[in-house]
Amino acid sequence: MSGIRATGTKTLMLFGGRAHPELNAEVADHLGVGLVPSKTHNFANGEVYVRFDESVRGSDAFVIQSHTAPINEWIMEQLIMVDALKRASAKQITVVMPFYGYARQDKKHRGREPISARLVADMFQTAGADRLMAVDLHTAQIQGFFDGPVDHLWALPILADHVAAQHDPANMTIVSPDAGRVRVADVWADRLGTPLAIIHKRRDPNVANKVKVHEVVGDVEGRTCLLVDDMIDTAGTITQAAEALLANGAAGVLVAATHAVLSGPAVDRLKNSGISEVIVTNTLPIPEERRFDKLTVLSIAPLVARAIHEVFEEGSVTSLFNGNA
């Protein structure tokens, strides 16, 4: 299958980094194109080399890379891919990052701290990117860090449709694990027609990733509670929230999150928790050793492929995805 699609005078070319080849291939299948072949390898000192095997002159280039661990290497590889395309005279370059690396560092909490999410956007701009595409940014303000179009895709329809098909929304409460996720939880509640509850928590300022859950605000007794978040990293927040819900009489707890970072103790915490199902997407690769019986992985590829198609055809990305307005 060719890595090129031509429409009139326009040519779509799809390029994939090495971080998540399974997702790259799935997106390519949905688009009906192949990935443009390339030669990519690391030199002995770790430097990345990229060369594409086909001419990219005048093309609309889409460069897919998931920012998974080791995150710095994969971001650097994508930057080098963009630079190679720019220098080879690609007409339009869209960076597709299903998971935006450093998105949690989107503002300064204290003096002498960086805004790393802005730095990432600046680097892609400098490398030659004309457009960014990402799924469920940690905060919407990141869209303003890039001086060009940013397509912010939401996985909520994919996740919510699965929940509605497998569970009864009539006896469900959507739960935000903290105050920062209330807006997203509210959209979930509107879509499924359920009540909303909030976990009030306070982070320990002296210990990274340490959260103390205080209380549940809302009616959860006797109900199935669905905790919703953009990502699960070490799973400390989500498992403590689940404990608080069960302690307050919840009949059961489900979790839905877009990005399965699953760092460090996350898998053991989730396996040993009272959570009955953890529903995520494949924006990040999840190796077999990080999978477990409670885990359900849904594909984000159809969403990404449809967005790429709309951008290439100069259609409306926003009109396709509920929640993107």
Looking at the fold, whether 84 and 139 belong to one and the same domain comes out as yes
Looking at the fold, whether 144 and 168 belong to one and the same domain comes out as no
Residue 224 located in a structural domain: yes
Could you tell me the two tokens for 314? 């100069």
Looking at the fold, whether 143 and 165 belong to one and the same domain comes out as no
Looking at the fold, whether 109 and 220 belong to one and the same domain comes out as no
Residue 89 located in a structural domain: yes
Residue 324 located in a structural domain: no
β-pairing, 252-260 vs 275-281, is parallel
Q: Does the annotation count 39 as an active-site position?
A: no
**Is 51 annotated for ligand binding?**
no
Looking at the fold, whether 162 and 285 belong to one and the same domain comes out as yes
- Give me the phi and psi of 195, to 5 degrees please: -70, 170
Question: How many structural domains compose the chain?
Answer: 2
Res 203: pLDDT = 61
Looking at the fold, whether 231 and 107 belong to one and the same domain comes out as no
Residue 325 located in a structural domain: no
Residue 137 located in a structural domain: yes
* Annotated catalytic residue, options 86, 91, 201, 210: 201
Range of the domain at 61: 4-154+301-319
Looking at the fold, whether 29 and 52 belong to one and the same domain comes out as yes
**Is 118 annotated for ligand binding?**
no
Res 324: pLDDT = 44
**Is 181 annotated for ligand binding?**
no
What pLDDT tens digit does each residue of the chain (325 aa) get?
555 666 667 899 999 999 999 999 999 999 999 999 999 999 999 999 999 999 999 999 999 999 999 999 999 999 999 999 999 999 999 999 999 999 999 999 999 999 999 999 999 999 999 999 999 999 999 999 999 999 999 999 999 999 999 999 999 999 999 888 999 999 999 999 999 999 987 666 666 655 565 689 999 999 999 999 999 999 999 999 999 999 999 999 999 999 999 999 999 999 999 999 999 999 999 999 999 999 999 999 999 999 999 999 998 887 665 544 4
- Give me the phi and psi of 268, to 5 degrees please: -65, -40
Looking at the fold, whether 176 and 187 belong to one and the same domain comes out as yes
Looking at the fold, whether 65 and 78 belong to one and the same domain comes out as yes
The residue type found at 56 is V
Res 180: pLDDT = 84
Residue 248 located in a structural domain: yes
54: three-class secondary structure by DSSP:
coil
- Give pTM, 2 decimals: 0.92
Looking at the fold, whether 16 and 130 belong to one and the same domain comes out as yes
**Is 105 annotated for ligand binding?**
yes
Looking at the fold, whether 138 and 162 belong to one and the same domain comes out as no
Count CB-CB contacts under 10 A for residue 136. Answer: 25
Residue 199 located in a structural domain: yes
Burial of 267 (0-12, 13-18, 19+ CB in 10 A): buried
User: Bridge partners of 202?
Assistant: 212
Cα–Cα dist 81/64, whole Å: 10
- List C-alpha distances in Å: 153 to 65, 143, 274, 284: 15, 11, 31, 15
DSSP class of residue 228? E
**Is 234 annotated for ligand binding?**
yes
Looking at the fold, whether 246 and 170 belong to one and the same domain comes out as yes
CATH of the domain at 229: 3.40.50.2020
Residue 140 located in a structural domain: yes
